[in-house]
């Protein structure tokens, strides 16, 4: 069981790092040469850029195997908390829904998610190797996750404004905006609550060492043999 989690952290870290390095250049290029409107409304990252398009497709596909974590937790008869299944289900549904629509603003969401996952899973991989990164790193990761949610909400609000201005070529539906905005806002509330409890709520909350945030937007339960960064043999 230990190997399942240890190897999973390594693979997820590597996948996310590669995904970020293959999608971020396209977003930067678009912002520099075409501006914010293009980055939010024109889905060239799927239709014209093969590299970014491929890794966007890989991102969408990766949401299905993530459900395996939920199954694994259930099979181990561990507590399945709300944030875990809520995150996996909503992200899976939204990712697949957005890809079928070629939602232009998704280029932002994919790059941000890859970026946060790169840092987060690398952190978990270090913990699995029995390194003890300083606490400020985990605080930084959670802060980045909160920032991700704020930017996600802002992108949706910009897209909504573009549609209201009559920008007919803005490739995003109002239904998608509502879904995405509700999702990102709910994540922000849940992460802000976690940040307060974990880092600002006093020593009593630090005892829940088995609850770690993973997958960019959810609380992830680490199995009993991996608690507080230490691997214990069954």
Q: How many CB atoms lie within 10 A of CB 4?
A: 13
* 87 flagged as catalytic: yes
Start-end of H helices in 63-173? 67-75, 82-101, 106-128, 135-164
Token pair for residue 42?
């024109």
Q: Which of 112, 103, 36, 86 is nearest to 187 (CA)?
A: 86
Select which of 4, 29, 87, 196 is catalytic: 87
Burial class of residue 50 in the structure, from the number of CB atoms within 10 Å of its CB (0-12 exposed, 13-18 middle, 19+ buried): exposed
Q: Give catalytic residue positions.
A: 87
């Amino acid at each position: 069981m230990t190997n399942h989690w240890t190897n999973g952290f390594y693979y997820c870290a590597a996948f996310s790092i590669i995904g970020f390095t293959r999608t971020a250049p396209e977003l930067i290029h678009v912002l520099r040469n075409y501006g914010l409107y293009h980055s939010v409304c024109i889905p060239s990252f799927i239709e014209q850029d093969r590299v970014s398009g491929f890794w966007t497709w890989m991102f969408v596909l990766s949401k299905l195997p993530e459900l395996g974590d939920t199954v694994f937790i259930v099979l181990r008869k561990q507590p399945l908390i709300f944030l875990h299944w809520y995150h996996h289900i909503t992200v899976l549904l939204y990712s697949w829904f957005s890809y079928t629509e070629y939602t232009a603003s998704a280029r932002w969401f994919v790059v941000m998610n890859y970026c946060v996952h790169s840092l987060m899973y690398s952190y978990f991989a270090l913990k699995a190797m029995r390194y003890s990164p300083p606490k400020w790193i985990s605080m930084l990761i959670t802060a980045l996750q909160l920032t991700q949610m704020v930017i996600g909400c802002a992108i949706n609000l910009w897209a909504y404004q573009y549609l209201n201005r009559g920008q007919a070529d803005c490739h995003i539906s109002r239904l998608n905006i509502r879904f995405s905005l509700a999702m990102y806002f709910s994540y922000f509330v849940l992460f802000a609550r976690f940040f307060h409890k974990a880092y600002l709520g006093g020593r009593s909350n630090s005892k829940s060492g088995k609850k770690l945030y993973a997958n960019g937007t959810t609380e992830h339960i680490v199995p009993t043999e991996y608690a507080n960064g230490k691997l214990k043999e069954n």
